[in-house]
Structure 1
Amino acid sequence: MNKPSDEQLVAYLDVELDGDYRNQLDNAIVEDPLLSLRVQWLSRSNLPFKNAYDELAQQAPLDRLQARLDAIPSPEKPGLSRRWFIGGAAAALLAGGVLADRLFLGWHAAQSNNWRALVGDYMALYVPQTLDHLPTDEASQRAQLRTVDARLGLNLSPATLKLPGAEFKRAQVLEYDGVPIAQIMYLDARHGPLALCVTRSNQGSRALEHERRHEMNVVFWTEHEHAWMLIGHVPAAALEQSATLLKSRSIG
């Protein structure tokens, strides 16, 4: 079957698909670990609509409308007052979704722009069994890296991506809101799944920095036109050594 869209997977989770297509997806999810991870990730999605609309109520510009309307002569038509106009204007804005759309889209943009948070959410779903069955021959790795290179303007090779104590398992390109994110997966012998991820950036070059997400250590940096991050349960000091090694090979 063709790769399902996020909308189809959400419909699957909401039990809104017809029986035949749902059965096809059931089988595909069992056979495709990546598809299974996408379904798990989508099932965890819980956007705070209530918080967004609570903030909307606080930001409604009633005072500004009142000040402007105070300068307008009272309408000649009986039964209509400035208060009626204020209420009607606010209701029209809310009913039209203008304030709600701007508020929620602004909130959503702030969330989706934090690509490291997205990667952290995704990585939290990985277990060693997700990766241990994948082929590790160099021909497969080079073919996968060519796809990454083509989407993100890189020039990667298995040799430049080697890390001590970790086996290169897979390279793939994910996409969020049209933005490609490359994910190079490793299986660390002691600490489990480890990922080197990269996306395009216009922030220039920045030194290594540290953070933690979902009880995993993260080292991140930017170099020229790309932002990088290394994430996993590897201790912070060892993770920084791996990141420094990768930088020294001029991968980014």
Structure 2
Amino acid sequence: MNVNPTDEQLVAYLDNQLDSEQRQRIDAAVAEDPMLGLRLQWLNRSSLPFKSAYDELVNQAPVDRMQAMLDTLPSATRPPLGRRRFLAAAAGLVVSGVLADRLFLSWQASQENDNWRQLVADYMVLYIPQTLDHLPNDEATQRSQLHTIETSLDLSLSPVQLALPRAEIKRAQILEYDGVPIAQITYLDPVHGPMALCITRSNSGSRHFVRERRHGMNIVYWAGMQHAWMLIGHNPAAELEAMATTLRGRLSA
């Protein structure tokens, strides 16, 4: 087992597919590295609702049509199992085929517009002040981390542009979900705790501020011609929007 487990190993850990020695190594690594614990919780929270999707598919199965087909079979060639069991098995085959693909694609499309904000909220709800307060915050470190974001998202960012009253920049990093890069600039507000400015690519056109709440946190999000932005934290919604206004003015200049 590597000192820094891969996502595949962490998923196997969550699925109870590791032996006791491998589990103990990951337990020890999580105890030593809080960020590894965040990764583990992130993977655990990122499961798609397959059960509810398949339940809906069973409800959509064309049972009447399959019953009619069954009734046309000569009695000698009918399956020996009862009709109820046969229909359930047939519905199961339908679920595993075209209808499953159709329902999943429908679910995926309905989530496309706001899924990245939900992913960020799932991640941010795990943060506490102790997650961030030990991180270096000198300007050289900030510029180095911001350079990674600039390269991934074709942006120009500086610590001065991102500065907010009271809140201190603690880390800038690139995350990735399903091949899509998401930048996260994390702040520590001494009054309200962790907050973050997150950025991803977008071609949906300019959008003014919209507010929402997820996991008890306030969110303000907006979009330009090439990027979508969101500011998330436990700060009051009006305060968060005032910060977003400041950031938008600087970053669009």
What TM bracket, shorter-length normalisation?
0.7 to 0.9
Q: Kindly tell me: are residues 66 and 24 of structure 1, through their superposed partners in 2, closer, same or farther at Cα, counting changes over 3 Å?
A: closer
Once the two structures are superposed, what CA deviation does each residue of 1:103-138 show, in whole Å capped at 9, x if it has no partner?
235325544651111111111111101000000011
Q: TM-score, normalization: structure 1?
A: 0.83
Pair 1:211-2:212 in alignment: yes
Deviation at 1:11, TM superposition (A): 1.1
Within-5 A mapping of 1:192-231:
192-231=193-232
Decide whether the 8 Å contact of 1:60 with 1:90 is kept in 2.
no
Deviations 1:192-236 (A, max 9, x none): 001000111111111111111111111000011111000001111
Say whether the 8 Å CA contact 1:170–1:184 is kept in structure 2: yes
Q: Partners in 1 of 2:180 and 2:16 — Cα distance?
A: 29
1:95 pairs with one of 93, 96, 100: 93
Detail structure 1 runs of 4+ shifted over 6 Å in the superposition.
63-67, 87-90
1:198 maps to a residue whose letter is: I
Note the alpha carbon deviations across 1:33-52, whole angstroms, 9 max, x for none: 32211212333456443321
Match of 1:12 in 2: 13
Letter matched to residue 93 of structure 2:
A
2:61 is matched with 60
Aligned residues: 246
Structure 2, unaligned runs of 5 or more:
79-84
Cα deviation 1:42-71 (Å, max 9, x = unaligned): 33456443321221023224567899x8xx
2:28 partner letter: N
Conserved? CA contact 2:185–2:197, under 8 Å: yes
The letter of the residue matching 2:197 is L
> What residue in structure 2 maps to residue 185 of structure 1?
186
Query: 1:84 aligns to what?
Result: none
Partner Cα separation in structure 1 for residue 32 and residue 146 of structure 2: 23
RMSD: 3.2
Per the alignment, residue 134 of structure 2 pairs with 133
CA-CA distance at 1:151 after TM superposition: 1.1
For the structure 1 residues 25 and 50, does the alpha-carbon distance in structure 2 shift closer, same or farther, using more than 3 Å as the test? closer
1:1-252 residue pairs with structure 2 within 5 A?
1=2, 3-44=4-45, 47-61=48-62, 94-95=92-93, 97-98=96-97, 99-108=99-108, 110-111=110-111, 114-251=115-252
CA contact (8 A) 2:63 2:91 kept: no
- TM-score norm. by structure 2 comes to 0.82
Q: Match of 1:95, as an amino acid?
A: L
* Contact 2:3 2:29 (C-alpha < 8 Å) held by counterparts: no
Amino acid at match of 2:128: V
Report % sequence identity.
61
Question: How far apart are the structure 2 equivalents of 1:27 and 1:218?
Answer: 35
Unaligned runs of 5+ in 1: 82-86
